[in-house]
Amino acid sequence: MSFDRLIEKIAALQNPTVAGLDPKLSYIPEHIKKEAFALHGRTLVGAAAAILTYNRGLIDALAPIVPAVKPQAAYYEMYGWPGMRVLAETIRYARSKGMFVITDGKRNDIGATMEAYAAAHLGATEIEGKTEEAFGADALTVNGYLGSDGIRPLLQVCAERDKGIFVLVKTSNASSGELQDQQLEGGNTVYRAMGDFCEEWGRELPGRFGYSGVGAVVGATYPAQLGELRAALPSTFFLVPGYGAQGGGAKDVSPGFDRNGLGAIVNASRSILCAWQKAGVPGEEYARAAAAEAVRMRDDIMGELGEIRLPE
Amino acid sequence: MSFDRLIEKIAALQNPTVAGLDPKLSYIPEHIKKEAFALHGRTLVGAAAAILTYNRGLIDALAPIVPAVKPQAAYYEMYGWPGMRVLAETIRYARSKGMFVITDGKRNDIGATMEAYAAAHLGATEIEGKTEEAFGADALTVNGYLGSDGIRPLLQVCAERDKGIFVLVKTSNASSGELQDQQLEGGNTVYRAMGDFCEEWGRELPGRFGYSGVGAVVGATYPAQLGELRAALPSTFFLVPGYGAQGGGAKDVSPGFDRNGLGAIVNASRSILCAWQKAGVPGEEYARAAAAEAVRMRDDIMGELGEIRLPE
């Protein structure tokens, strides 16, 4: 019902990072695509098959190093139902290797509709007495613009099945301030108001290490706000995108952590997925290159944090 | 690139409503479920098969009366990839019957990821030189919390393929005010600021009838705000949920329309989908009951509007 499982895994691997699985076709080595297209043609099914092979290789290489993966739903949805099948298979494979899986779907709706998303991504779907997991991740990113009606249905599923959510608070993109930085009467920014909601919602999902099951997405590209929010939201665990390709470095993400080196997990997608291209190695070595980049990123961030300690 | 196709269809049918396709299993008649479960078991595949049969019957009955359908993505996603396949098949079937299809996905992300969602739901997916439509709707609901970076990738696809988006502005749920009604410095509410963004984004997608391709979701449960926004956002077409089961009536939705009876399309889901249960007729008559309820709703709203006229 909290992020305790994730936090334990981060401490065990001494690595507060997550590998984003955003599998663009241009990132996938030729030998994988060639085989998939030979079997299925240049179709949605063929692309999905290539993505699954690619993801499995990455997961095999990353599982001993990185505690979590974050598949971005859009890159599966764009391949239609075959892509969504591969999203489910990727999640299952990563969990079978012991990884914590965060589906980045930024889902949002209200009432019974949000219950449907909660069942889809974190819970199970009931079919007249039988139940089946549709996607079955450990955590889901969500958008809180609709208020508590959009969040409460998730809290129940999280409590029942030991899952968590990350609510968009201050996103990493250049225009995030258009709405999120606006000042509300009373002096709060919109993002800070959303952060305060996370603390409130999180009270229903307390965790053993001080962090609830309601986390927040806060971009590495805004280190000042990251520090402000770390201080203001002591029970809210942060998912921090924007490291690497988007411009954030180890110094930029460090304000997101507490004095135990906990409180945040930093995502990198492109830098890990394309490590083989950047390193100029053959496509056959993509997984090894991804693992090497994941180690570099871990060491970069751990160089700032020193050690990750679980509080008593 | 605008909502012109939708507006022409609304005027032709003299009906400014959209039928929400939120196919909960409890809404589906026993004879449909029995056949699907006999073939596929009580599985995600079996549930998805029942939903497709149910949706096709509804679309056949509603297409002569209602200009548009709005499948709610969550109710397909909860059945995993088989559900998503049925979402695509439902969209294709409705379009083949001449209906305008609005996928209610409330998607949101930034940059290349939002491009992936745009390709998935409104455009086409490129697979090394070949293209295929993943879901292929006419319009998509989106959430603008991330700012322009989350909307601009959609505008391009809308311009190229004559599609539209509806941005969440003031949602119909009870807690929508927690964030959306907060006052910003300068006197705007958050929802009004989001509405102003819609006008701004819409300038890139002008339409022949005065409405752009960037619409707004504004709930029937807040008639005062609906009227305020209609006056303030003259180029923004409204998708209005909350009629019927959520409590809004014809008088509540009328402030969303302009003097030509244009400017809004009102959604009902449950009241149409469950009309057969409410009427107490056998499940075999579900589609006929849905059509009767759609006619009642049309007449109810048209009683307020009088006539829908296309401006010269």
Contact list in B for residue A79 (CB cut-off 8 A) is 125, 134
Q: What is the pLDDT of residues A190-212, one digit of tens each?
A: 999 999 999 999 999 999 999 99
- The reported pLDDT for the residue numbered B247 is 78
Report which DSSP code applies to B183.
Answer: B
Measured in angstroms, the CA of A149 and the nearest CA of chain B are apart by 6
3-class SS of residue B19: strand
Which pLDDT tens digit goes with each residue over B241-257?
989 877 788 999 999 99
**CB A74 to CB B109 under 8 A?**
yes
Sequence-ordered list of residues with C-beta below 8 angstroms from that of B224, at least 6 positions apart, any chain: B255
- The DSSP-derived string for A123-183 is S-EEETTEEE-SS--SEEEE--TT-GGGTHHHHHHHHHHT-EEEEEEE-SSGGGHHHHTPB
Count other C-beta atoms under 10 Å from residue A270's C-beta: 17
Confidence of residue B101 (pLDDT cuts 50, 70, 90): very high
CB pair distance less than 8 Å for A184 and B180? no
Residue A168 with chain B: CB contacts under 8 Å: 108, 145-146
Question: Contact at 8 Å (CB) between B214 and B167?
Answer: yes
Nearest-CB residue to B111 (from A25, A87, A173) = A173
Is this complex's ipTM strictly greater than 0.90?
Answer: yes
Pick the CATH number of B4-305 from 3.40.1390.10, 3.40.720.10, 3.40.50.720, 3.20.20.70: 3.20.20.70
Mean pLDDT, residues B19-40: 97
Closest-CA residue in chain A for B184? A184
Give B148-199 pLDDT, tens digit per residue.
999 999 999 999 999 999 999 999 999 999 999 999 998 999 999 999 999 9
- Is the pLDDT reported for residue A16 higher than 90? yes
**Each residue's pLDDT tens digit, A227-286:** 999 999 999 999 999 898 777 889 999 999 999 999 999 999 999 999 999 999 999 999
Containing H/E element for A198?
helix A190-202
Q: How confident is the model at residue A2 (pLDDT cuts 50, 70, 90)?
A: confident
Compute the distance between CA of residue A93 and CA of residue A88 in angstroms, rounded to an integer: 9
Cβ atoms of A3 and A215 closer than 8 Å: yes
Q: Give chain A positions within 8 Å (CB) of B85.
A: 80-81
- From the list B74, B30, B25, the residue with the least C-alpha distance to B51 is B25
Which chain B residue lies closest to A43 (C-alpha atoms)? B127
Is B278 known to be catalytic? no
The answer, yes or no, to whether residue A1 has pLDDT greater than 70, is no
Q: Mutation target for A interface from B90, B109, B166, B168: give the one with most A CBs within 10 A.
A: B109
Give the number of A-B residue pairs with CB atoms closer than 8 Å: 236
Q: Would you call B179 and A173 a contact, using CB atoms and an 8 Å cutoff?
A: no
CB contact under 8 A, A109 and B72: yes
Whether residues B81 and A79 touch (CB distance < 8 A) is answered with no
Residues of A192-218 as b/e, b for ≥16 C-beta within 10 angstroms?
bbbbbbbbebbebbebebbbbbbbbbb
- Best mutation target among B178, B191, B199, B217 (most A Cβ atoms within 10 Å) is B178
* From A9, A33, A34, A106, the catalytic residue: A106
pLDDT at B246: 73
- pLDDT (average), residues A49-57: 98
Look at the block and give the residue holding tokens 């990493």. Answer: A172
Write down the pLDDT at residue B244. Answer: 83
Alpha-carbon distance A28 to A274, whole Å? 8
Q: Residue B142: what residue type?
A: V
The residue annotated as part of the active site, out of B9, B24, B70, B106, is: B106
Task: Output DSSP code: residue B182.
Answer: P
The nearest CA of chain A is from the CA of B227 a distance in Å of 20
Q: What is the CATH number of domain A4-302?
A: 3.20.20.70
